[in-house]
Every structure is written in structure tokens, then in C-alpha cells.
Amino acid sequence: MLRGVSAISLDTKGRVALPKRYREELDALCDGVFVCTIDHQLPCLLVYPLPEWERIEAKLSRLSSLNPAERRLQRLLLGHAFECEMDGQGRLLISPTLREYAGLEGKAMLVGQLNKFELWNSDRWQQQIDQDIQLQAESAEALSERLSNFSL
């Protein structure tokens, strides 16, 4: 289970070190093989352990290449998908194209999202969190049915 937020850094080669607390679990889950792609709605990257990505690929393969919206989603997610393998120090090499999309250099945030990580530019992450908190406070009355029944 991938959860929590970690401040990490990209080295000069574009590698990020996964926090030690995840490494053993991820090595067992996916032999250290991941797929990284863009988030098609936000300026961050999505980093999936390979078995989780394969589930996403199966869903994408069922979309119609004749429907423009479905084809667009396939193009964005599959077209940017980049396989990366965790090295002996727990690092993943992020491709230059993906780093550019997310504005990654120097400080970054790795955010666990149950079955994947989001990888954010540190400043953009803080802006997104500020915006999310503001929107959540403003729209508390307009909850979806699932959220209105959700209790913490």
C-alpha cells in the first residue's frame, strides 16, 4: 500500500531515490520495475509498479481508438509511458521528456496514492495542496453521494 508524502530530490542524471520504507515491499511486488507516465489532468507524473500498470493498460486497451476522447487518453498515457527499473540504491531514472512535462529538477514530492505514486515538482505540489484545501472548504456542501456517506 503506497501512502504518505515524501520530500525527495532528483540528481543531475534525473534519478529519484524511493524512500527506504517502500523498497522492500516494491521489490517483492514488482521486482523493482515501474512504469512512469504523465497525469493527463495535473502537471505531475504517475509512477506505477509494473503489475498495477498492466491493469491500467488492460483498461486502456478496451477503449475505442475510433472515439476521439478515448483515443486521446490512450495517446497521452500510453504514448508517455516509460518503463524504469529500481537500481541497487533504490533509484529510478525519469526520462527527460517526463521530467520536462512535470517541471522536475532538484526538489520533488513523492505522494503515495494506494496503487501508484504521484511525482510532483515541489513548488507545484504546494500550490496544488493549497488549491485543494481551498476548494474543499468552499465546496463542502456539494459533495458527491459517495463523499457524503464517507466518514473518517
pLDDT digits (tens, 9 = 90+) for 24-81: 999 999 999 999 999 999 999 999 999 999 999 999 999 998 999 999 999 999 999 9
* 75 lies in some domain: yes
Question: With 70 as the cut, is the pLDDT of residue 22 above it?
Answer: yes
DSSP sequence for 62-120: TS-TTSHHHHHHHHHHHHH-EEEE--TTSEEEPPHHHHHHHT-SSEEEEEEEESSEEEE
Q: What is the CATH number of the domain that holds 39?
A: 3.40.1550.20
As for how many domains the chain has, the answer is: 1
* 148 lies in some domain: no
The answer to whether 50 and 108 have CB atoms below 8 angstroms apart is no
How much is the pTM? 0.90
C-alpha cell recorded at residue 92: 529510478
Instruction: Report the pLDDT value the prediction gives residue 138, as an integer from 0 to 100.
Output: 79
* 13 lies in some domain: yes
pLDDT per position as a tens digit, 88-144 = 999 999 999 999 999 999 999 999 999 999 999 999 999 999 999 998 887 766 667
* 149 lies in some domain: no
* 147 lies in some domain: no
* Domain around 18: 2-140
Confidence class of residue 82 from pLDDT cuts 50, 70 and 90? Answer: very high
